[in-house]
Amino acid sequence: MHTKVYYSHAMKIYGTNAEKRAIAIIQEEFPKAEIVNPPSFEGSPRKQIEGMAFCHRLIDDCEVLVFSRLEDFITSGVGDEVNYALGRKKKALELKDGCLKPHCEPVEYVSREQTRRIYRLIEMDPILKRKVCEE
């Protein structure tokens, strides 16, 4: 059977070296898996219209969800996706310190407004922005 792994991560990480490294770690753990990476669907009109419901359907089609934090925060979209996956009895793993660690409990996460504030702070601080994108 072909495994599909959904990689849930903050939009601030999309297209960065941090994202590439995370995907490499996931590929190492699941060498034959198809990795479903949300940025791949950014141009999709359905995603733009449906928002999180679109992502939930992608998760429904996967066996595993891997998620990462933005610094120490679980952003709103990531938290929603993790809890959605857990509610559907999907295997969830947190990517932390270069390792994938099982995660079985629902997560607490920051609101959409708090997520936006965090993104603005990152944009205003070049050192923090570099750290986030390179981590």
What's the whole-number average pLDDT of the chain? Answer: 93
Give the mean pLDDT of 78-96.
97
Residue 34 Cα distances to 37, 49, 62, 72, 105, angstroms: 9, 25, 9, 27, 25
Positive or negative, the Cα torsion across 90, 30, 23, 101? Answer: positive
β 91-96/34-36 pair status? unpaired
CB neighbours (10 Å) of residue 58? 19
pLDDT band at 95 (very low <50, low <70, confident <90, very high): very high
Closest CA to 84 of 102, 111, 65: 65
Query: Is the pLDDT score of 1 beyond 80?
Result: no
Percent of the chain, pLDDT > 90?
79
Query: Is the pLDDT score of 134 beyond 90?
Result: no
Find the radius of gyration of the CA atoms of the chain: 14
pTM of this structure: 0.93
Domains of the chain with CATH codes: 4-134 (3.40.50)
Amino acid, single-letter form, for residue 33: A
